[in-house]
Chains A and B, each alone.
Chain A
Amino acid sequence: MEAIFHEIALFGSAFATAFTVTKLLVVMMATILGIIVGAIPGLTATMALALLINLTYGMDLNIAMAFLLGVYVGAVMGGCYSAIMVNIPGTPSAAATALDGFVLAKRGEGGLAIGTGIVASFFGMLMSIVLLIFLTPFLYKIALKFGQWEYFLLSVFGIMICGNLSTGKDPIKGWVVGFLGFFTAMVGLDKIYAYPRFTFGSLELMGGIALIPALIGVFGISEILFVLQEKIPYKIEGNIGRVLPTKKIMKSIIPAAIRSGIIGVGIGAVPGAGEDIGAWVSYDIGKRRSKHPELFGKGSYEGLACAETANNAVVGGAMIPLLTLAIPGSPPAAMFLAAIWLHGIKPGPMLPVEQPGFLYRVAILLFFATVFMLVWGLILAKPMAKILKIKREILMPIIVPLTVIGAFAGGVRSFDIGVMFVFGLIGYVLRKLDYPMAPLVLGIILGPMADVSFRQALMQGQGNLIPLLGRPVGIVLMVAIVFIVVTGIKRAMDYSKEQRELILAQQNSEQSDGN
Chain B
Amino acid sequence: MEDVKKGSVSDFIMSILLLIFGIALIISSLNMKVFNTFLDAPGFFPMLLGIIFIFLGLMMLFSSIRRKGPQQLGHVFGKANMGAFFKHIEFKRVMILIGLMVVYIFGLIGRMHFAIATTIYLFCTMWFLKSTGLVKNIIISVVASIVISVVFRFVFKIPLP
Contacts and interface: CB of A to CB of B under 8 A. Distances in A.
Contacts, number: 172
Nearest to A493: B63
Given A192-B40, A414-B161, A417-B105, A393 B129 contact: yes
Contact of B159 (A170, A408, A503): A408
Name the interface size band of chain B. 35 or more
Given A402-B148, A497-B66, A417 B93 contact: no
Chain A interface size, under 10 / 10 to 19 / 20 to 34 / 35 or more: 35 or more
A408 B7 CA distance: 36
A506 interface: yes
A256 B1 CA distance: 38
A230 interface: yes
A450 B48 CA distance: 11
B80 interface: no
A394 B67 contact: no
A418 B63 contact: no
A186 B126 contact: no
A405 B152 contact: yes
Interface string B103-120: 011100110001000100
Interface string B36-56: 010111111110110011001
Nearest to A501: B67
Given A179-B52, A228-B129, A404 B105 contact: yes
Interface in A426-473: 428, 433-434, 450-451, 454-456, 458-459, 463
B42 A193 contact: yes
B147 to A, nearest CB: 10
Interface in A172-197: 172, 175-176, 179, 182-183, 186, 190, 192-193, 195, 197
A233 to B, nearest CB: 13
B122 to A, nearest CB: 6
Given A459-B40, A502-B1, A433 B10 contact: yes
A157 B129 CA distance: 43
Interface string A389-405: 00101100110111011
Given A172-B63, A195-B42, A404-B109, A397 B5 contact: no
Interface string A132-146: 000000000000000
A205 to B, nearest CB: 14
A477 interface: no
A221 interface: yes
A459 B144 CA distance: 55
A421 B158 CA distance: 20
Contacts of B126: 393-394, 397
Interface residues of A, dominant DSSP? helix
A360 to B, nearest CB: 28
Most buried by A among B46, B68, B122: B46
B154 interface: no
Contacts of B26: none
A408 B160 contact: yes
Contacts of A190: 42
Nearest to A499: B67
Contacts of A394: 126, 131-132, 140
Interface string B131-151: 110000000100011001000
Contact of A401 (B25, B39, B94, B145): B145
B87 interface: no
Contacts of A179: 49, 52-53, 56
B82 interface: no
A294 B152 CA distance: 52
A496 B131 contact: no
A58 B66 CA distance: 55
B22 to A, nearest CB: 10
Interface string B87-99: 0011001100110
B113 to A, nearest CB: 12
A417 to B, nearest CB: 6
A489 interface: yes
B4 interface: yes
A218 to B, nearest CB: 15
Interface of B: 1, 4-5, 7-8, 10, 14, 18, 25, 28-29, 32-33, 35, 37, 39-46, 48-49, 52-53, 56, 59-60, 62-64, 66-68, 89-90, 93-94, 97-98, 101-102, 104-106, 109-110, 114, 118, 121-122, 125-126, 129-132, 140, 144-145, 148, 152, 156-161
7 contacts: A195-B33, A394-B131, A409-B152, A414-B110, A418-B106, A434-B7, A499-B7
Given A172-B59, A230-B90, 13 more contacts: A179-B53, A190-B42, A197-B42, A225-B97, A394-B126, A397-B122, A398-B148, A404-B104, A404-B109, A404-B161, A418-B105, A418-B106, A421-B105
Top 9 nearest A-B pairs by Cβ distance?
Answer: A393-B131, A496-B63, A190-B42, A195-B42, A458-B39, A397-B125, A455-B40, A393-B129, A451-B45
Interface of A: 54-55, 57-58, 170, 172, 175-176, 179, 182-183, 186, 190, 192-193, 195, 197-198, 221, 224-225, 228-230, 391, 393-394, 397-398, 400-402, 404-405, 408-409, 412, 414, 417-418, 421, 425, 428, 433-434, 450-451, 454-456, 458-459, 463, 489, 492-493, 495-497, 499-500, 502-503, 506
